Amino acid sequence: MPPRARDIRSFRAVGPYTLRFCLDMTDTFLTTAGWPRPWVQWLGLAIVLGIGLLVRLDAPEIGLMEARNFVAAREMHAGGSWLLPTMNGELRLAKPPLPTWLVAGVMHLTGSTTDLGLLRLPSAAGACLLVLFFWALARRLTPPQDRGRTAWLAAVVLASSLLLLTAGRDGNGWDIYCYCFMTGALAAAVRGLQSPGRGWGWFAAAGALIGLSILSKGPVAPYGMLLPFLLACALRGDRAALRRHWPGLVLMAGVGLLLGAAWPLYVLGQHLSEASQVAQTESSSWANRHVQPVWFYVSFPAFMGFWALAAGAALAWPYAAPRIRPYAPYALLLAWALATLVLLSLVPEKKERYLLPVLPPLALLTAGLLRYWLSALRPTGADQWLLRAWAGVVGLALLALPVALRLVRLASFAPETPRYWLTSGLAVAAAAATWWLWRSGARARAAVAATLSAVLLASGLLMPAYPEWQRRRDDPGLRPLARVVRERAGLRHQPVLSVGEMQIKWIWAAGRVVPQWRPEVDSLPQLPVLVYAGARGTAPFPPSVARRFQIETVDSFDLSHQFADGRWYVTEIRPRP
């Protein structure tokens, strides 16, 4: 039954005037085929990205990798070198500087070095740009007669996937930027491969984006995204286009290497020994740090979040291939996803966030299957069971949310708070809408609507409360370093040292560079001086220092969320009267 006829049947019971109004509104937002008009597509994607990536960016506590990036950016902003970054006053050559430049730029523009919401904006913007680049790429990979519908679905799926949302809200930046620019490079390269002429401009743009990707995280994205895509194209793509445009591909590689190698070559010219040592350490870490078995990534569809069931079904060749082929190049996308998975699995060092390059091909595969389900008049057989399981699980999760909020007992979601009733009401309304769509026969729409509702609820209302969930078992009366620094002006203005190495998150909380002091060999700067140390009084210092100076512990701070995790002390050293 055509979409227009279904609309008429659905609204017939409400009267002719209401029916005419509803049909007029439908024509405003939807095409005659029942698909969102272009401006509605942009608006819908903007809502998903805005709620998913921008709501309460300041809520989560700072992470380890974030602290490293923000400390280096703070020192750039304070007058340090932009070409030779430092972290707590020491050279920081382990990571390329582009993510740090972006955060330092935000500090310059806003004047703030402490607002986590502002400092995480570049990562969120990088995630948004990744989705837009992917949308452009997907339009080029899907058939022209599809009119971009599958590509738009793929962009929505990617924008609401679990791993992209968590990576985009994390200010460490390196992964999101390198794959953002590499996705743009693939979109430009495919445009060049499909051009009737040489496509020099597109290949040059692709090379520039590859260079920016290298400046974000070195060769990670060329290995984790570009190489598997080229392998997939060679195996299941248009080999004739690759042969015809080999000069453009050479130009792309040359521009990318020239731009990407500029900063490493500069560093080698300035600090050859330090750069060589860092390169050796970083290369060995791939084999010795965070080592996981080769099957560690086998659960990769789970990182699609609420889309996981559809993503898993899209990988089942006998079932999914005939359904997806009319809407997307199934063999190419499956080869791209599997090649990425294999190459990532070959590296001994593995982390969940390293799976980010698997998401684009998996999102387009998932969108192809959604496109089939949405186009089917009434799914039957395996499609019926999959949609029933998917919509049922998400719908039950929405209904269970009010009960779960009562059980976890977070203060911000107490039953007497408006936030609890708003979240519960929206969850129940979304579950009811899912049931109504299912009963009216729009079963694929019911599953998609339930999934998007769950993602938006989790992103807009639940994710900002995650830090409260983490701190629910905190000991009362904790004094973190940031609070001590706010209360003691001397920690912001007097010379400050540390005895022993301070964790980088403490350096961030200290708000400034804290040089490490070795009392046995290093002299003191002008007195008085404040010292962070792991013990109180004269215990951290040799007897010679204790005899010469007046030493007094003036404060302390807790290292974590429980007193049992330890405490450091703030000691003031003055000349003896």
Q: Look at residue 287 in the predicted model and tell me its pLDDT.
A: 65
Token output for 268: 């080698």
Which residue ranges make up each domain of the chain? 38-269+292-365, 379-472, 481-575
What's the CA gap between 186 and 252, in Å, rounded?
Answer: 11
Q: Look at residue 3 in the predicted model and tell me its pLDDT.
A: 46
Instruction: Find out whether the peptide bond into 528 is cis, omega within 30 degrees of 0.
Output: yes
Pairing type for strands 549-558 and 529-533 reads unpaired
CB 496 within 8 A of CB 530: yes
Token output for 179: 């794959």
- Residues facing 557 on adjacent strands: 568
Q: Look at residue 377 in the predicted model and tell me its pLDDT.
A: 63
Q: What is the pLDDT of residues 550-574, one digit of tens each?
A: 999 999 999 988 888 899 999 999 9
Q: Look at residue 32 in the predicted model and tell me its pLDDT.
A: 66
Question: Quick one: angle between helices 443-457 and 418-439, nearest 10?
Answer: 170
Pairing type for strands 567-575 and 529-533 reads antiparallel
What's the CA gap between 496 and 385, in Å, rounded?
Answer: 65
Cβ neighbours for 74, distance < 8 A, ≥ 6 positions apart: 104, 107, 113, 508
Q: Look at residue 238 in the predicted model and tell me its pLDDT.
A: 82
Conformational region of residue 441, where left means phi above 0, alpha means psi within -120 to 50, and beta covers everything else: left
Cβ neighbours for 299, distance < 8 A, ≥ 6 positions apart: none
What's the CA gap between 290 and 15, in Å, rounded?
Answer: 64
What's the CA gap between 539 and 14, in Å, rounded?
Answer: 82
What does DSSP assign to residue 441? T
For the chain, 577 residues long, the average pLDDT of each consecutive 10-residue run is: 47 48 58 80 94 88 91 94 93 92 96 93 96 97 92 96 93 90 97 91 97 95 96 88 92 96 92 82 70 86 93 94 95 96 91 93 96 80 90 93 88 86 93 91 90 91 80 85 92 91 93 90 84 91 87 92 91 88
Q: Whose structure tokens read 């399981």?
A: 389
CB 329 within 8 A of CB 267: no
Q: Residue length, the chain?
A: 577
Burial of 89 (0-12, 13-18, 19+ CB in 10 A): middle
pTM: 0.91
Q: What is the pLDDT of residues 233-252, one digit of tens each?
A: 999 888 888 999 999 999 99
Decide: helix, strand or coil at residue 551.
strand
